[in-house]
Amino acid sequence: MSSPGDSRRTTARRRETALFLLAVPALLLLGIIFAWPVLRLLAMSVEDGTLANFEKATLDELYLYVLFDSVKIAAMVMAICLLVAYPVAFWLSRAGRWGVALGMFALLLPFWTSVLVRTYAWLVLLGRNGVVNRWLRDAGLIDAPLPLLHNTSGVLIGMVHVLLPYMVFPIYASLLRIDPDLSRAAEGLGAPAWRSFLRVTFPLSLPGVSAGCALVFVLSLGFFITPALLGGGRVIMVSMLIEQQVREFLDWPFAAALSTVLLVATLAIYALIGRITRGARHA
């Protein structure tokens, strides 16, 4: 016996199944090229039946230092990106048609250019006799060239440049979603522009800030090309360490353990950022 209610539920369930089928190709692709390799990696790291590789990765001072340094650099890149990107996103959200077109062009052109090309361009710009140092010297601002390359500054400059759009776009999108009447209402109720920004616009843009921070941080933590080239071997990130283990020492299990540690650290920090911004929003 089936009541009309049952057949309705069946129809509804069929619709849900049909919708789910649409997601299957993407899920398969993710499963094959992401989930499976990650699991393999995990398996590889404990191949010898012990947790020795993990012990080495998490207790050895050298590796801990590199991990800590990577997190520090990622956090700095994130912070600088946020400071630079927020004003840009804010200006874009208030700009006219031509302003937006110009801003998008300026952001997207480098975004679509190869990271490798851009990193080499920074090598030319930041060297001892690079364009930047020559300008500063010619302008009489400095006597000796600034050390901009093969150190943390170089890595930060290059990474911020590459990752800036990942911060600008989420913030821009969340600023656009805010009803413009809200800041008008705030001003009409007696708030100067800066208080209206602090009390209304900024808190409402936090979802974008959170998304941007998470994106930039996660991408920074695993960054390879830019720190490898601009750091000149003096700045070592976890990704470089992993590459070294595989390419030079052929120690796949240890590389796998390091990768797993990196993945867990990434997820943990990702969760932390989400929690902080959610907390700030309801403060």
Residues contributing to the site for another protein (CB under 8 A): 179, 181-182, 184-192, 195, 199-200, 203-204, 281-282
Least Å distance, CB 207 to another protein, is 11
Least Å distance, CB 191 to another protein, is 5
CB closer to another protein out of 112 and 194: 194
Least Å distance, CB 106 to another protein, is 28
Q: Any idea what DSSP says for residue 197?
A: I
Cα 275 to Cα 210, 212, 261: the distances in Å are 9, 14, 21
Residues 6+ apart with CB under 8 A from 54: 45, 46, 257, 260, 261
Report the alpha-carbon distance of residue 193 to residue 279 in Å, rounded: 25
Tell me which amino acid residue 150 is.
H
CB closer to another protein out of 69 and 187: 187
CB closer to another protein out of 48 and 179: 179
Instruction: Give the helix ranges, DSSP H, for 46-151.
Output: 52-59, 61-94, 97-111, 115-126, 131-138
CB closer to another protein out of 205 and 259: 205
Least Å distance, CB 85 to another protein, is 21
CB closer to another protein out of 206 and 242: 206
Least Å distance, CB 193 to another protein, is 9
Which H or E run contains 154?
A: helix 152-176
